[in-house]
Amino acid sequence: MSRIKDFNLPDLGEGLTEGEILTWLVSVGDTIELNQPIVEVETAKAAVEIPAKWAGKIAKIHVEAGTTVEVGAPIVSIDTDPSAGDLPSPPVGDLPSSLPAPSAESLAAVEIAPEEGAVEPGLIGGPAPGGRTAVLVGYGPKSVTAKRRPRLGTTTAAQPAVESPARALAKPPVRKLAKDLGVDLLSLVGTGPLGSITRDDVRSAVATPAAAPAVVDAPPVVSLDGSREQRIPIKGVRKLTAQNMVTSAFTAPHVTEFLTVDVTRTMKTLEKLKARPEFRDVRLSPLLFVAKAALVAIKRHPLVNSTWSGATNEIVVKDYVNLGIAAATERGLIVPNVKDAGQLTLRELADALNGLVEVAKSGKTPPSDMAGGTFSISNVGVFGVDTGTPILPPGESAILAFGVIRPTPWVHKGKIKIRQVTTLGLSFDHRIIDGELGSRFLRDIGRFLEHPTDALLAWT
C-alpha cells in the first residue's frame, strides 16, 4: 500500500457539492497529527475547518487558497510514513531525452518578423512572443510580411501619396473615447506605434483644444470605462442565500402584516431580570423576550410552525420549534437555529441565542446549525431600522421582523407619555396561514411584549 495518500474534499452534508479553499493551516513539509485541522473551507452554508484523516507529513498541496473545489477532488497529499525516508523527486525543468533537438535547417527556416513596419505584438498579422506571427486560430500563418495601408499624406516606394478618405489609425477603445469626448481623430497626430492615435492623444486634444467658437452650456461628457467599478464574485454563502431567496419569493405567496407595540414593560422586566443572580453572568437583550413571545404564540397557534409539501400534497405541522435567528456575517446572511427551542427555560434560551451570535460572528457556524429551521426572527432593530418585509426561509411558513425600540409619544392610560415603542413585521405563506391566523398570531406576540410578566404566568 502506498505511503502517500490523497486527502479528498469530504462531503460536508446537506447536499453540498463544492467548497472554496479559504486558508491552508499547514504547509508542505509540516508534520501533522490525526484529526488536526489542516484547511479552512467555505461551503454554501458556512466556513468550516477540516481535520486530517491521517497522521504524517504534508507531501503536496494540490489546490491554492481561493480555489473552488468539487467534493471528492484531491486537495492535499499526506505521507503517512515519513520515517521511511525521503521519496525520490523527479527532475524539474529538464526536457525528456526522447525529444530530438531542433536541426540547424529547421531553425533557419523560421522567419522572424521584421522590426520596421511591424504592428503591435498580439495584433493579428503582427509578431507574437518568440518572433512568430499572430494569426486567427484555424487560419494559419500568413506567407508574406504583414503590412498596413499607408496613412493619409505618406508615400511608399510602390504607391504615391493620394488624397483619400482613409480612417485614422486607432484602436476601437480609443475611437469610442474620441467619440464620447467629441474629438475628430483625423485632426490628431498619433504618437503610438506606426503613428496610431492613443488615449493620451485624445485626452491631450481635450485638454488643449484648438481655437473654436464658444459653446454655451455644453454638458460635461463622462467616460465610463469600468475603472471605478468593483466586481464581487457571487459564491459561497451569498450564492446559496440568493438562490434560496429567489426560490422562496417566487414559490410561496408572501403576505406581510405590521404591528406597533408599546414594549416599556418588557424593557423594565429585562432590567429586573439582569439583577437576578441566575442571570448576572449572561448577556440579555430584548431579542430574548421577542423569541420567548414567538415560542409562546406558536404553542397557541401551531399551524404557524409548519411547512408546505408539494411532493406529498400535505401541510406538515411541526411539534417542535427550531428557532432561526438571521445573522449578518462577512460572507453573507445566514440563519442558524436553536434546536427544540420551545423546550428551553428562559436562561437556557438566553445562552443558546448568545451562542448562535458568537459562533456566527466567528464565521464558524457548522451546516448542521443552519439545517431544519421551522420559524425565524430577523432582528433589523440592531441596525436602527423600524421594521421590514422579510422573505421566508425555504421550508418555513412564517418569519418575524423585530424593529428598533424608540422613545415615542404614546397614549398611555388616557395621557400622552413617552414610551418605549417598536414595530413588528410578520411575513407568512398565504397557502398555509390566512389573514385571520396571521393576525391573531402577531397580536399574541404583541400582547406578550406589552405585558410580559402576565403573559408568562397565564400562557406558560
Catalytic residue IDs: 430
Nearest Cα neighbor of 79 from 91, 88, 92 is 88
Q: Distance between CA 151 and CA 149 in Å, rounded?
A: 7
Other beta carbons within 10 Å of 334 = 22
Cβ atoms of 5 and 54 within 8 Å: the answer is yes
Residue type, 4: I
Radius of gyration of the chain (CA): 35
Nearest to 19 by CA among 57, 75, 60: 75
Residue with cell 440568493: 242
Nine-digit cell at 342?
Answer: 420551545
What single letter denotes the amino acid at residue 167?
A: R
DSSP string, 5-62: EEEEPP--STT--EEEEEEESS-TT-EE-TT-EEEEEE-SS-EEEEE-SS-EEEEEE-
- Which residues are CB-contacts of 365 (< 8 A; sequence separation ≥ 6)? 45, 46, 327, 329, 334, 336, 356, 359
The span from the CA of 273 to the CA of 265, in Å, is: 12
Give the pairing of strands 31-32 and 132-133: unpaired
What whole-number distance in Å separates Cα of residue 383 and Cα of residue 363? 20
Burial of residue 432 (number of CB atoms within 10 Å: 0-12, 13-18, 19+): buried
Residue type, 126: G
Gap between the Cα atoms of 304 and 428, Å rounded: 8
SS3 450: helix
Q: Are 120 and 193 in contact (CB under 8 A)?
A: yes
- With a CB cutoff of 8 Å and minimum separation 6, the contacts of 112 are 131
Give the span between the Cα atoms of 242 and 223, in whole angstroms. Answer: 32
Give the contacts of 208 (CB within 8 A, at least 6 positions apart): none
**How many residues does the structure list for the chain?**
460
